[in-house]
């Protein structure tokens, strides 16, 4: 049986990818960001998971205003790196896991989550930056990745509660897969940031740290937080944080925080990062 062994939360700020790709990772500005992931790189190399399910959002890359799926699962064997306007990032293509991805699609749809199945999709910084933070700059990514794209660009995005329950359905799907695979779920995006308009640059460290506390200790309550609170308190693009609840829903009710990191700023954004290990369910 496959099982979910851990969860990772991470921001996916494009400037982090650009800093790495352009050899600027050792600059004083970027050094604290990458230092916050040193433990994580060693942790995931030691764990050597068989598959990663990565929850992220597409930033008007594979999906434009022509088609806007709320939840889309990548079932392809390979996902090319998108040109987001600067030329594609110089990272290897992302290798998928079609068999498990299709299994999750079927299981979650029958569990009443109406997933969009995607067989041809380029992936942007939302997916690749967390991989770079966790795995550095390998010639090939060391593990297959199942992309799970969530719409957080067009209102309304899914509710936190819906995301949390999708995480539970993904866990059920993984645990009904016959092969012994060790799966890690990534939830990406956030934390507080606003990229648009005269209020751009908003950061709310108190909001972010309370979010981290509650994601660990009381995710069912956190899942009930309405969209307006994310947008008003932590910036229009902080709504991405609902995606972290998918990762959290796929874990046990109780988790242990293995690693926690928070840093301001990376470009316009507060960097948040967690590694969570399962610690048992409530009965």
Partner 1 sequence: MMTERENPFDDIPGTTLFDAKRSRQGYHLNMFCMSLMKEANRAAFKAGERAYLDRWPMTPEQRDAILTRDWNRMLELGGNIYYTSKLGATDGLSFQALAAKMTGQTPEEYAAMMLSGGRSIDGNRSKSEWRDG
Q: In angstroms, rounded to a whole number, what is the distance separating the alpha carbons of residues 109 and 101? A: 12
Tokens representing 143?
Answer: 């593990």
Reference 11, options 147, 168, 212; nearest CA is: 212
Sign of the torsion angle spanned by Cα atoms 188, 137, 29, 276 = positive
**What residues between 148 and 177 interact with partner 1 by CB under 8 A?**
153-156
> Cβ closer to partner 1: 189 or 219?
189
Options 59-67, 128-136, 163-171, 210-218: segment touching partner 1 (CB under 8 A): 59-67
**Overall size of the chain counted in residues:** 283
- Residue 120 lies near partner 1 (rule: CB under 8 A): no
Please say whether the beta carbons of 278 and 251 come within 8 A: yes
Helix (H, G, I), strand (E, B) or coil at 105: helix
The verdict on whether 125 is a catalytic residue reads: yes
Binding to partner 1 by residue 200, rule CB under 8 A?
yes
- Minimum distance, C-beta of residue 198 to partner 1, in the bound complex (Å): 3
Task: Decide: is 60 part of the binding site for partner 1 (CB under 8 A).
Answer: yes
* Residue of 12, 59, 103, 125 marked catalytic: 125
Residue 61 binding partner 1, by CB under 8 A: yes
275 binds partner 1 (CB under 8 A): no
Does residue 66 bind partner 1 (CB under 8 A)?
A: yes
Binding to partner 1 (CB under 8 A) within 9-28 occurs at 14-15, 18
> Quick check: 34 and 27 in contact, CB under 8 A?
no
- Look up tokens 């309550």; give the residue: 221
Q: Under the criterion CB under 8 A, does residue 201 sit at the interface with partner 1? A: yes
- Assigned token pair, 172: 């059920």
Q: Which of 41, 182, 232, 260 binds partner 1 (CB under 8 A)?
A: 232
Out of 161, 193, 259, 283, which one is annotated catalytic?
A: 193
User: Hey, what's the torsion of the CAs at 237, 242, 243, 248, to 10 degrees?
Assistant: 150
Cα dihedral 257, 261, 267, 269 sign: positive
Residues noted as catalytic: 125, 193
Residue numbers at the binding site for partner 1 (CB under 8 A): 14-15, 18, 59-61, 64-66, 82-87, 153-156, 192, 194-207, 228, 231-234, 236-237, 264-265, 267-268, 270
């Amino acid at each position: 049986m496959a099982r979910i062994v851990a969860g990772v939360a991470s921001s996916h700020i494009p400037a982090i990818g650009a800093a790495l790709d352009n050899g600027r990772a050792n600059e004083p500005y970027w050094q604290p960001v990458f230092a916050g992931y040193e433990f994580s790189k060693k942790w995931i190399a030691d764990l050597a998971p068989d598959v990663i399910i990565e929850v992220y959002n597409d930033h008007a890359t594979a999906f434009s205003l022509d088609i806007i799926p709320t939840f889309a699962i990548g079932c392809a064997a390979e996902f090319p790196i998108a040109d987001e306007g600067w030329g594609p990032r110089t990272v290897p293509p992302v290798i998928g896991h079609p068999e498990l991805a299709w299994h999750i699609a079927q299981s979650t749809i029958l569990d009443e989550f109406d997933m969009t199945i995607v067989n041809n999709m380029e992936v942007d910084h939302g997916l690749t930056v967390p991989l770079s933070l966790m795995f550095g700059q390998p010639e090939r990514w060391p593990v297959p990745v199942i992309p799970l794209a969530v719409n957080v660009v067009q209102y309304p995005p899914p509710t936190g509660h819906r995301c949390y329950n999708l995480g539970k359905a993904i866990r059920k799907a993984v645990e009904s897969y016959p092969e012994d695979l060790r799966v890690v779920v990534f939830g990406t995006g956030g934390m507080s940031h606003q990229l648009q308009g005269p209020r751009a640059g908003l950061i709310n460290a108190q909001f972010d740290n309370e979010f981290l506390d509650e994601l660990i200790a009381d995710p069912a309550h956190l899942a009930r937080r309405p969209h307006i609170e994310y947008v008003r308190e932590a910036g229009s693009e902080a709504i991405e944080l609902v995606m972290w609840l998918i990762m959290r829903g796929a874990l046990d009710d109780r988790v242990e925080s293995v690693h926690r990191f928070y840093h301001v700023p990376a470009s316009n954004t507060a960097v948040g990062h967690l590694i969570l290990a399962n610690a048992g369910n409530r009965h």
